[in-house]
Amino acid sequence: MDFLGLKEDCETILGRFQATDSVRYEEFLSIWKELRFDTIFYGGMRNLESNRFTKEAYAVVSPYFLPPYTFQIRVGALYLMYGLYNTQLCEPKLKIRIALKDWPEVEKFHQDLLSAHHLDAVYIFRQMRRCRAFYFTAMPSMLTFRSQRSIPVDDGKEEFKDVRDRVADLITAESMEEMINIHDHYQNAKSRMFDDKCESDNSLNLIKEEFTDHLSSLVSQYQHWKEEKQAPRMKTDDEKEGTSQESE
């Protein structure tokens, strides 16, 4: 059954969360309340239709919890699944399907949350584990006897995907070390060749001596810029003070 607008609504709340440039649960909760997203299950649906709607909502959101989506979108999907699970009208509560092949990625994501000290996201994840909100399955979607062989795959929103790092693909730590070794060997060979000559041949000065140092510096600057760009924005003391004054 196709529930019109469901996918768009879920992607809207994730897009709004992405615009905050934050992974804090309070930011997501503010958007959730503003959109009154808990009313998504209201509509006078019968039990069978409510079950189908809830399963469809899980099927829309759960792929955003996994690669290749950005860290922030995956956190947003975690929060959204938590909200959907706890506000659904099904009795007993329907669980979220997670394929066994995807569970290592989920565990790695949990470790990344711990390493980055995103304790609110860690708490939400552990609450879902404690409530047994996940249903471990062989396949992400249910297969039946007469199901079609090729299941259509939704690629999701391109804006939510993690952009592939071409620089990291091109210049790895191993390739950088190899370039430094080759450059040193080249410089040593030149110096041995012209030990007895006053002037060196200009044809052998095509590569600057500081080439590898300069390249290494550029790579380090790029990595630093990338880390700063990917790091979720934290509220400054002034912003926190302003928020507290508004609440008063």
Taking the model in full, what pTM does it have? 0.69
The answer on 17 and 99 residing in a single domain is yes
**Which residues of the chain form beta strands (DSSP E)?**
96-99, 134-137
The answer on 93 and 44 residing in a single domain is yes
- What's the CA gap between 112 and 93, in Å, rounded? 29
Residue 228 domain-assigned?
yes
- What's the CA gap between 90 and 94, in Å, rounded? 7
The answer on 223 and 209 residing in a single domain is yes
**225: which 2 tokens?**
């810029």
How far, CA to CA in Å, does 20 sit from each of 205, 207, 234? 51, 46, 10
The answer on 116 and 195 residing in a single domain is no
The answer on 125 and 25 residing in a single domain is yes
Residue 208, SS3?
coil
Tell me phi and psi for residue 161, to 5 degrees.
-80, 150
Residue 1 domain-assigned?
no
The answer on 140 and 26 residing in a single domain is yes
Residue 63 domain-assigned?
yes
Mean pLDDT by 10 residues, the chain (248 residues): 84 96 96 95 88 95 94 96 96 94 95 94 97 90 63 66 68 82 82 64 68 82 71 54 50
**206: which 2 tokens?**
């095509």
The answer on 229 and 143 residing in a single domain is no
Q: Which long-range contacts (CB under 8 A, 24 or more apart) does 141-149 make?
A: 141/59, 141/97, 142/97
Domain of 150 in residue numbering reads as 6-163
Q: Residue 247: its pLDDT value, please?
A: 46
The answer on 53 and 141 residing in a single domain is yes
Please identify, among 126, 142, 163, the residue that sits at the C-terminal boundary of a domain.
163
* Cβ contact 60:7 at 8 Å: yes
* Cβ contact 30:39 at 8 Å: no
Please identify, among 130, 163, 196, the residue that sits at the C-terminal boundary of a domain.
163
The answer on 204 and 156 residing in a single domain is no
- What's the CA gap between 248 and 239, in Å, rounded? 14
- What's the CA gap between 135 and 137, in Å, rounded? 6
Tally of domains in the chain = 2
The answer on 138 and 54 residing in a single domain is yes
The answer on 206 and 99 residing in a single domain is no
Q: Which of 45, 34, 40, 92 is nearest to 61 (CA)?
A: 40
The answer on 93 and 154 residing in a single domain is yes
* Cβ contact 103:63 at 8 Å: no
How many C-beta atoms surround the C-beta of residue 188 within 10 A?
A: 10
Please identify, among 163, 184, 200, the residue that sits at the C-terminal boundary of a domain.
163
What is the largest distance, in Å, between two alpha-carbon atoms of the chain? Answer: 94
Q: Residue 154: its pLDDT value, please?
A: 61
